[in-house]
Amino acid sequence: FLLSGAGAIAALGVGTGFWLNRSATSQETGAAPAPSPSPSTTGPRLPRPVGRWPLDETSGAIARDTAGGHDGTATAVAWQPGGAGAAFDGAGSQIVTDGPVLKTGAGRSFTVAAWVRLAAVPGIFATAVSQESGGASGFYLQYSSEDKGWAFARPGRRAVGRTAPAAHVWTHLAGVCDGEARKLLLYVDGVQEAVVEDPDPMPATGAFMIGRASFDGEPRDFFPGAVRDVRAFDRVLSPAGIKTLTGHA
């Protein structure tokens, strides 16, 4: 039988961030502001990101990149009052840059991080940050409905956290790709919760996206909730550096 759309992916047990050979090991308005995205003054000095989107706009269709000049085009995004981030409706909202921000092929290392807040725990995959690669995304910082947990994934591999996601809770997610060690790591609220082998990384040469991913050449995994302070680094951040991103180093 044939299925189509995000429901088809969920029904098959295969989401945009999930492949069967993976390694073992209501839009909100007036929401309370996210925890401060400012780095802790007591933590290590962070390298300059190659991209940073505070998502603290109050209007318009441009999401400013204050670090690297990769401004994103916002579609159907509701800017939250008081700098509380961008709200995504889980159906079509997205922020998309004109091209790639991170280099993700073999031997490449990078870190991507964001504060996220689900409006509701979805029954399908929901991706906060990704970068396109041909017909799919090269990596996904997401909620995995298959595992009912936060995850950092790319085709063939998924690092799944142990913290149970909940609606209306701000959570800091950070995904690290260590190209030299060939590993993917997931941090939740500054704590490393998962690591998997990543022997066959794929280059992602398409757009950097906030609020969704892509699969089979189509937009997928739209995020239902708010996102803010998205950062991308072209290197592995240390555990102390990840903690600094949360403001609690």
Q: 72: domain CATH number?
A: 2.60.120.200
Distance CA 122, CA 6 (A): 12
pLDDT reported for residue 28: 38
- Report whether pLDDT(118) > 80: yes
Q: Find out whether 158 and 213 touch, Cβ atoms under 8 Å.
A: no
pLDDT reported for residue 16: 39
Compute the average pLDDT of residues 43-47: 85
Number of domains in the chain: 1
Q: Find out whether 63 and 86 touch, Cβ atoms under 8 Å.
A: yes
pLDDT reported for residue 109: 97
Neighbouring residues of 41: CB distance < 8 A, sequence distance ≥ 6: none
String of DSSP letters for 81-95: GGG--EEEESSS-EE
* Residue 97 bridge partners (DSSP): 72
The region of weakest confidence among 21-25, 160-164, 171-175 is 21-25
- What percent of the chain lies above the pLDDT cut of 90? 73
Confidence grade of residue 19 (pLDDT, cut at 50, 70, 90)? very low
Cα distances from 132 to residues 57, 212, 244, in angstroms, run 24, 10, 28
pLDDT reported for residue 155: 83
Confidence grade of residue 248 (pLDDT, cut at 50, 70, 90)? low
* Residue 233 bridge partners (DSSP): 111
Which residues span the domain enclosing 152? 5-246
Distance CA 156, CA 140 (A): 12
What is the CA 229 to chain-centroid distance, rounded? 11
183-240 tens-digit pLDDT = 999 999 999 999 999 998 888 999 999 999 998 889 999 999 999 999 999 999 999 9
Compute the average pLDDT of residues 64-93: 96
Confidence grade of residue 45 (pLDDT, cut at 50, 70, 90)? confident
Locate all alpha helices (DSSP H) within 13-168, ordered by sequence. none
Give the predicted TM-score (pTM) of the model.
Answer: 0.84
- Report whether pLDDT(14) > 50: no
Distance CA 88, CA 85 (A): 10
Show the tokens assigned to 246.
């949360």
- Report whether pLDDT(121) > 50: yes
Comparing C-alpha atoms, which of 22, 203, 31 is closest to residue 108?
203
